[in-house]
Amino acid sequence: MPSLDLANPTEEHRMLREMVRDWTQEHVEPQALEYDRDEKFNLELMRSMGELGLLGISAPEEYGGAGMDAVACTIVHEELSASDPGFCLAYLAHSMLFVNNLAYNGNEEQKARILPKVCSGEWIGAMAMSEPDAGTDVLGLTTTAVQQDDGSWKLNGRKMWITNGCIDEDGTPADVVWVYARTGTDDRGRVQMSTFLVEAGMPGFSVGQKIYDKTGMRASNTAELVFDDCVVPAANLVGGVGESLIHMMGNLELERLTLAAMALGIARRSLDDMNSYATDRTAFGSKIRDFGQIQRFIGEGWAKYRAMRAYIYDTANNLTIGVAGQRLDSDGVKLFATTAAKEIADSAMQVMGGYGYVGEYNVERLWRDAKLLEIGGGTLESHQKNITRDLARDGEAINR
């Protein structure tokens, strides 16, 4: 009986992994150091992924997507991140935060008009939730949308830390942004959040600034977006008024899974580089892998990596895109994997000494990039809170 490979459960998944790994080695790896060093986003490389069917990996085929599942999404993010996590983060913001959101929450007109453009790479998408004074506290967002007499909406506010918010060094905004804004309160006095598709060129929509001097993920552009009496047509409201939380919950689990997959790619590459270096480097007449201190770093790195891989792909195999219900494990994998990736990258730097501390040997970049995964897409503290709450409601999950 053949053994079960959670990470490649079907031949289609295996072929996808081989294709993405080969493409990454040929096209992503050669540019990774330069684009991190220069804090630039490789826009043309991103657009070229449309030809591979990767920009709409989870979108339906009738709109130009690949129609694949959560395991496929996980595979792509792992493979890209093993080479260039910063570029992979820009890919995640486009494919998961925008394309997947629209594919599962948009109406027929919105999907037919926009999905083919974002799946092909003609348009680059983003998602705007965080603000200068609000991140995890979604109900604390202050960007507002007020409906006008003609049915259009007028947005006012600022969004911060938006990956793909601008797509070049000239401050050009993303072609289309999934924006959350307050539209009042419901009949019970609760904050009402609604979702809007804001397109480049709409009056009052601009990039406030591109954010420089980030610790890591420097190959993805992070920007502040400004909405100053921004006029959005009525047709660009997603779903009904007040439905943002439904959209968030339906997409958040896949987002956290793919962020954990990014951590897995960082961990795998760091472990690989550390292991190779420990064989090549000698000290005191022996390979350094013969020393107990080095064996601890490699041994614990291997165990953490394998634990991450099993948990992440088990969760991916049990996650149905667009259907909430896997929060416990989507939080769990991100909580565990992001910190484990940072620890393995740190171990690799320690094993490689001075070489690990400079850019051309990759691991210092992976180490810097890993930290963001403990913050973006939900902080470690939010995962701890969610897991604790979910286990209070369903303690039997521990024994199932």
Nearest to 122 by CA among 43, 197, 67: 43
Separation in Å, CA 67 to CA 26, 58, 247: 25, 5, 19
Alpha-carbon distance of 332 to 338, in angstroms, equals 10
Alpha-carbon distance of 381 to 190, in angstroms, equals 24
Alpha-carbon distance of 40 to 90, in angstroms, equals 11
Q: In this structure, which long-range contacts are made by residues 318-325, counting pairs with CB atoms below 8 Å and at least 24 apart in sequence?
A: 319/70, 319/253, 319/254, 319/257, 320/70, 321/58, 321/69, 321/70, 321/73, 321/100, 321/104, 321/254, 322/104, 322/250, 322/251, 323/250, 324/249, 324/250, 324/253, 325/253
Separation in Å, CA 153 to CA 156, 232, 234, 377: 10, 5, 6, 27
Quick check: helix, strand or coil at residue 38?
A: coil
Alpha-carbon distance of 49 to 67, in angstroms, equals 15
Active site residues: 255
